[in-house]
C-alpha cells in the first residue's frame, strides 16, 4: 500500500494553516480588523528611533515576540549624521518585503516551489519639493520602480503571475498608489 | 568688547550647513535630483531581508556610511514566524521619522529649541482586503492616525506650527496621501 503525503509546508509557508486562517476569517470576518502601531522618540537633529511591539488583531491586543527598534536619520549630504536610512528608504524596503511575502504565500497556495526571489526597488525624488524651493515639485517620490527576479519549478508565465497576484493583494502597494487618510493631532504640554 | 556668538547648531541641526545647502540647491536645482534604493532577498515563508546602502544625489553615486539591513516577516497569527515587523509597520515608522526629522529642522530654522518630541502612529487595516475575501475592502490601511507630543521654548501655537509645516514638507506624508506611480518588471531566468 502506498500512502501519498501532501506536504503542508511549501516555500516555508504552512499552507494548511494558511488555508485554515482563510476559512476562519470567512466564518468571522470581524477577526480581520487589525491595527498596527509604531512609537517614535526624537533623539537629535534628523535622528529618531521607533519602537514596534504591540498590535491589535483577531479580537484582542497582541505583541510581537520581540520589541523591534529602528533608527532613521539623514546622511551628511542632507545635513544629518547617517545613524540610519532615511524615512523614505524604509518605504522602499516596506514595498519590497510586502510584495515578496505575498508572492511566497501565493506560490505556496498554487503549489509552486520557489528557489529564488530577489528584488530591487528604487524611488526618484526631487528635493526641490521638500526644501520648499519649487512649488511645482511634489514632496515625495515622483515614481518608484521595482525589479523582481523570481525562480522556481513553474513556467516563466506562472512565475510572472505570482508577482502580478501579489501586487493585486499588496497592502504597501495599495497605500502608495491610492490615497490613505492621515490625521495628525498634537499635544504641547 | 562683547562678542555675540550665534550658535550654529540648534536641536542637533547644523543650521549654517542647512541654510548653505538650501542656497546651494537654489543656485543649482538639478543637485536636488536623488534616487534612493533598497535590495531585498527572500529567505523563507513571509520572511525577507532588505539591504540599503547606495543612493544617487547631488550629481553622483553615493553610499551610506554603513550598510543597513532589515528583516520583515508576519507574526504567527498571520502565518509567519515574527522574524521582524510586518511591511506595513515599517511604513508607520517611516511616517513618524519623516515628520520628526522635518520638525527638528524647521524648529532649528525658526530658532526654537526642542526639549522633547514623541509620536505614536497607528494604522487600521481590514485584512479581508489582502485575503481576497471582500472586494469592497481595500488592501492597505483604511486610515492612519498620528499623535505628536512636542515640547520646547516656544508657545503651544508655535510648537503646533512646527508639526503643521513638517506635514506640508514631508516626503512620506505626501506618498501616503497622494498617489505614486509604481512600475514592476520581472525576470524569471
Residue A5 reports pLDDT greater than 90? no
pLDDT digits (tens, 9 = 90+) for A115-170: 999 999 999 999 999 999 999 999 999 999 999 999 999 999 999 999 999 999 99
- Residue A8's pLDDT band, with cuts at 50, 70 and 90, is confident
* pLDDT confidence of residue B35: 98
Residue A4 reports pLDDT greater than 80? no
User: With contacts defined as CB-CB under 8 Å, which chain A residues touch B12?
Assistant: 43-45, 47
Q: From A48, which residue of chain B is nearest by alpha-carbon distance?
A: B97
The residue among B147, B162, B14 whose CA lies nearest residue A47 is B14
Instruction: Chain B: give the shortest CA distance to residue A2, in Å.
Output: 30
Q: Do B11 and A44 touch (CB under 8 A)?
A: yes
Q: Do A186 and B58 touch (CB under 8 A)?
A: no
Mean pLDDT of B167-175: 98
Range from A14-18, A179-183, B1-5 carrying the lowest mean pLDDT: B1-5
Rounded distance, CA B129 to CA A100, Å? 17
In sequence order, what are the beta bridge partners of A52?
Answer: A68
The whole-model pTM stands at: 0.96
* pLDDT confidence of residue B34: 97
| Comparison of pLDDT for A189 and B71, the residue scoring more | B71
- Among the partner-chain residues B73, B101, B163, the one whose CB lies closest to the CB of A48 is B101
Contacts with B66 (C-beta within 8 Å, 6 or more apart), sequence order: A82
pLDDT digits (tens, 9 = 90+) for B11-47: 999 999 989 989 999 999 999 999 999 999 999 999 9
User: With contacts defined as CB-CB under 8 Å, which chain A residues touch B125?
Assistant: 33-36, 171
Rounded distance, CA A70 to CA B97, Å? 10
Residue B7 reports pLDDT greater than 80? no
For A155, half-sphere exposure in the C-beta direction (CA atoms, 13 angstrom radius) is 3
Residue B6 reports pLDDT greater than 80? no
pLDDT digits (tens, 9 = 90+) for A41-100: 999 999 999 999 999 999 999 999 999 999 999 999 999 999 999 999 999 999 999 999
* pLDDT confidence of residue A189: 86
3-state helix, strand, coil in chain A (%, to 5): 35, 35, 30
- Among the partner-chain residues B18, B29, B141, the one whose CB lies closest to the CB of A175 is B141
Amino acid at each position: 500500500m502506498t500512502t501519498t503525503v501532501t506536504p503542508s509546508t511549501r516555500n516555508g509557508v504552512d499552507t494548511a494553516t494558511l488555508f485554515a486562517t482563510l476559512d476562519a476569517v470567512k466564518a468571522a470576518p470581524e477577526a480581520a480588523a487589525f491595527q498596527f502601531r509604531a512609537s517614535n522618540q526624537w533623539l537629535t537633529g534628523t535622528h529618531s528611533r521607533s519602537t514596534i511591539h504591540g498590535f491589535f488583531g483577531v479580537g484582542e491586543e497582541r505583541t510581537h515576540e520581540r520589541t523591534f527598534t529602528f533608527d532613521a536619520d539623514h546622511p551628511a549630504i542632507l545635513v544629518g549624521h547617517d545613524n540610519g536610512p532615511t524615512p523614505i528608504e524604509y518605504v522602499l524596503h516596506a514595498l519590497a518585503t510586502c510584495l515578496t511575502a505575498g508572492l511566497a504565500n501565493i506560490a505556496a497556495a498554487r503549489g509552486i516551489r520557489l528557489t529564488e526571489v530577489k528584488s530591487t526597488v528604487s524611488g526618484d525624488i526631487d528635493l526641490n519639493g521638500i526644501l520648499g524651493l519649487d512649488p511645482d515639485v511634489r514632496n515625495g517620490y515622483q515614481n518608484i520602480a521595482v525589479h523582481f527576479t523570481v525562480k522556481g519549478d513553474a513556467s516563466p508565465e506562472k512565475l510572472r503571475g505570482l508577482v502580478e497576484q501579489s501586487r493585486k493583494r499588496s497592502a504597501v502597494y495599495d497605500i502608495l498608489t491610492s490615497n490613505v487618510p492621515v490625521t495628525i493631532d498634537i499635544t504641547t504640554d
